[in-house]
C-alpha cells in the first residue's frame, strides 16, 4: 500500500540530515500515498486522521523541509502571487529557480515541441509552453551554496 517502510524513511532522513520524527513520517506517508499534486491543506486533512493533534504549521514546515532537501518537488516555480504577462503572443519562459525571476523567450527561439506518444483521448491542446529552468548569471556567480529546490 504505502510503499515506504519506516526504515526506508529513516535512511532517507539520515541521508539528508533530517531528524526522524513521527509527524514527519506520517506527512511523508500521506504525500507518497496521495494521488495527483496535493496541497498542504489536503495533506493536513489526511494527516490529522492519524495524528489528530498535529498542527497545520507543522505540515507546512515538514513540506518545506522535504522540498529544500529535494525529497519532493514543487509543481509550480512561480506560485505565490498572480503575475500578469503582457506578452500575448506565444512565448516561453526562462526561469531562475534561485531568485524566481522570469524572462520571456521568443517562441521561435525554441524548436517546436513534438510528442512521441498521443495524449489522453479528448485533450485539446492549445499551446505548448516551455519553461527553461536553471540558474541565472547573477545567482550563479554569488553563492555556490545549496542546490536549489527541484521544480516540476
Partner DNA sequence: TCGCAAAGGATAATAATTATTAAATGCTTC
Partner DNA sequence: GAAGCATTTAATAATTATTATCCTTTGCGA
**Binders of DNA among 77-106, rule CB under 7 A?**
79-82
- Work out what residue 4 binds among a second copy, DNA, none; the CB cut-off runs from 5 to 8 Å by kind: none
- Work out what residue 22 binds among DNA, a second copy, none; the CB cut-off runs from 5 to 8 Å by kind: DNA
Buried b (16+ CB within 10 A) or exposed e, 75-97: eebeeeeeeeeeeeeebbbbbbb
- Work out what residue 1 binds among a second copy, DNA, none; the CB cut-off runs from 5 to 8 Å by kind: none
Q: Which of 9, 38, 46, 69 binds a second copy (CB under 8 A)?
A: 38
CA-to-CA dists, residue 27 to 13, 19, 36, 49, 74, angstroms: 13, 14, 16, 11, 16
| Least distance (Å) between residue 122 CB and a second copy | 3
Amino acid at each position: 500500500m504505502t510503499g515506504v517502510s519506516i526504515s526506508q524513511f529513516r535512511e532517507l532522513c539520515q541521508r539528508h540530515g533530517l531528524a526522524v520524527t513521527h509527524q514527519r513520517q506520517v506527512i511523508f506517508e500521506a504525500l507518497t500515498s496521495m494521488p495527483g499534486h496535493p496541497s498542504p491543506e489536503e495533506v493536513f486533512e489526511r494527516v490529522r486522521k492519524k495524528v489528530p493533534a498535529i498542527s497545520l504549521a507543522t505540515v507546512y514546515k515538514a513540506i518545506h523541509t522535504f522540498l529544500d532537501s529535494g525529497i519532493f518537488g514543487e509543481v509550480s516555480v512561480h506560485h505565490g502571487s498572480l503575475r500578469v504577462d503582457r506578452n500575448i503572443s506565444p512565448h516561453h519562459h526562462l526561469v531562475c529557480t534561485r531568485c524566481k525571476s522570469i524572462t520571456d523567450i521568443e517562441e521561435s527561439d525554441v524548436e517546436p515541441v513534438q510528442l512521441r506518444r498521443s495524449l489522453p483521448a479528448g485533450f485539446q491542446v492549445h499551446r505548448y509552453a516551455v519553461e527553461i529552468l536553471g540558474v541565472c548569471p547573477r545567482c550563479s556567480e554569488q553563492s555556490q551554496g545549496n542546490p536549489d529546490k527541484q521544480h516540476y
